[in-house]
Chain A
């Protein structure tokens, strides 16, 4: 049975609207160093180098505290829950390369569904789904359940990061309608069994020693980054946020508006408050910011922000076909690098605003 192809076939997906573009040699070299090769998606993000760097790093982070076995399982469950065909295909293939067969993967999905996993894994995967759905956001009760299941505070933070990073990747892939990577087509091929031992060491999540917080940690979302204290993930998140904010493609104000809107939609008071303060520093008065967030529009917005602000809200909870159509419409109204960056910022904001449960509940 071509199980992966069959599983992907039932997930609705539009055609990708992003053309491939040459990748700057230094960016390509960085991706190759981390991944081992340059995946197709990276070429589509060529006009926005921070997105290539950031999303590569988010997906290849080393972990210090959580069980390594859980990493791809969280990614699979969250990608499945978000109906992300691209990420689900990649993660399913990854699990097969790591030695899990289709029966195990199917059983995993089934058992998550039916609550028949080992209690610790069940609690971790349930927590990951709650982070992803954010309806309602996980509370101290879910965190306590994880602690009771034997997870340390830093391990819980890494599980949350794993879920949030997958949420970001799911949004990036879904909004751009990324086509499946060529290697996903090999998932059902018998030859995969032969080459698996050679490839597995390159795709396995690696263990790293605990590390102190990045210094300085004073950019946007510093509190969320600090909640990952002790994990290499804190460095990756800090670096990705800083690269995103420093990118010259969209104004800083547009990026902060996206963060504020996603924060409002997800009930993340940290992100919203921080974005409000930063927008005030950009020259927007409090009343105007209030109106923009209340109504997703204002005469004070320029033409681009008037498109981007309501779009940001759509990226929080969506039906795949509807959001892919909506993103394509946005892309038709903006230059390609700007449209890509809107998607990148919104994806990152969705991750950060979900990860902030660590501040509320831990």
Chain B
């Protein structure tokens, strides 16, 4: 009787151990899968913020590493968009805007730029923010030229669909910014702050004043490849700056882009 009881107990223990082992194996596989997904996400997110910052966020939930960095900022804004928007129905408007963002976004990414945010019909991109980039200013100017070409190609396509042509003002400036993760636990983004960002926005504003599509600041002119063809514009007063802002129109590049 005792032997039978012991055998039953041993069988029950064995069954329990097997179940526990199976469960542990399943959990282990789930953990491996989750880790793989986490690593995949980390690689994917590295396109949007510095790798070290992403590791901090994954490990601690926050990033404690805001940094002062020298970056090149590119602002772009559609000209006359309010008028265009009034003429189009919502579907057409959305198609037009998304098509434009896709075209210029590719041009920015192709030159190692980071598209940081859309602001209505405008956008902010920066170069040299996610990883060290000694060639960030040249990259930004090549991106601006590629955006000009992309907009022309996009207009040719959208005209066939009965959509109006768009034109953009693009401003480029270089200088120090505070780069970090900003926002709340509900909405965070990797971004840049500081005077450099404001000046870049003012440079873009001046494209309307000077009636050109791409303008760059003094700081950009001083650090870019001399093969970029730049044309001096008259210094102009802008909001928030005591002195008139000197800018140069970017006409082209004298050799194939690097």
Residues of A whose CB lies within 8 Å of any CB of B are 1, 7, 10, 80, 83, 103, 106, 109-110, 113-115, 133, 135-136, 264-265, 267, 291, 294-297, 299, 309-310, 313, 317, 319
Given A10-B36, A10-B40, A295-B227, check contact A135 B52 (CB 8 Å): yes
With a CB–CB cut-off of 8 A, which chain B residues contact A297? 225, 227, 255, 258
List 5 contacting pairs A-B, 8 Å CB cutoff, sorted by A.
A109-B39, A113-B38, A133-B51, A294-B134, A296-B258
- State the interface size on chain B (CB cutoff 8 A): 25
Within 8 A of A (CB), among B20-71: 28-29, 31-32, 35-36, 38-40, 43, 47, 50-52, 59
Q: A109-B39, A295-B135, A319-B47 are in contact. List 17 more A-B contacts (CB 8 A).
A: A1-B29, A103-B28, A109-B35, A110-B32, A113-B39, A135-B51, A136-B52, A136-B132, A291-B226, A294-B134, A295-B138, A296-B138, A297-B225, A297-B255, A297-B258, A309-B258, A313-B135
Q: Are B35 and A113 in contact (CB under 8 A)?
A: yes
Q: Are B225 and A295 in contact (CB under 8 A)?
A: yes
With a CB–CB cut-off of 8 A, which chain B residues contact A264? 134
Residues of B whose CB lies within 8 Å of any CB of A are 28-29, 31-32, 35-36, 38-40, 43, 47, 50-52, 59, 131-132, 134-135, 138, 225-227, 255, 258
CA of A317 to CA of B258, assembled, Å: 16
Q: Are A317 and B131 in contact (CB under 8 A)?
A: yes
Given A109-B39, A297-B227, check contact A310 B258 (CB 8 Å): yes
Distance from A2 Cβ to chain B, minimum over Cβ atoms (Å) = 13
With a CB–CB cut-off of 8 A, which chain B residues contact A113? 35, 38-39
With a CB–CB cut-off of 8 A, which chain B residues contact A267? 132
CA of A332 to CA of B78, assembled, Å: 39
Which residue of chain B has the shortest Cβ distance to A267 in the bound complex?
B132
Distance from B105 Cβ to chain A, minimum over Cβ atoms (Å) = 15
CA of A135 to CA of B134, assembled, Å: 13
Q: Are A265 and B32 in contact (CB under 8 A)?
A: no
Report, nearest first, the 4 A-B pairs whose CB atoms are least far apart: A310-B258, A295-B225, A110-B35, A296-B258
Q: Are A296 and B135 in contact (CB under 8 A)?
A: yes
With a CB–CB cut-off of 8 A, which chain B residues contact A115? 59
Which residue of chain B has the shortest Cβ distance to A103 in the bound complex?
B28
With a CB–CB cut-off of 8 A, which chain A residues contact B43? 83
Q: Are A294 and B225 in contact (CB under 8 A)?
A: yes
Which residue of chain B has the shortest Cβ distance to A311 in the bound complex?
B258
CA of A267 to CA of B135, assembled, Å: 12
With a CB–CB cut-off of 8 A, which chain B residues contact A135? 50-52, 131-132
With a CB–CB cut-off of 8 A, which chain A residues contact B132? 135-136, 265, 267
CA of A181 to CA of B220, assembled, Å: 48
With a CB–CB cut-off of 8 A, which chain B residues contact A291? 226
Distance from B83 Cβ to chain A, minimum over Cβ atoms (Å) = 38
CA of A357 to CA of B50, assembled, Å: 21
Distance from A302 Cβ to chain B, minimum over Cβ atoms (Å) = 14
CA of A21 to CA of B36, assembled, Å: 37
Distance from B158 Cβ to chain A, minimum over Cβ atoms (Å) = 27
CA of A103 to CA of B51, assembled, Å: 27
CA of A135 to CA of B52, assembled, Å: 8
Q: Are A106 and B51 in contact (CB under 8 A)?
A: no
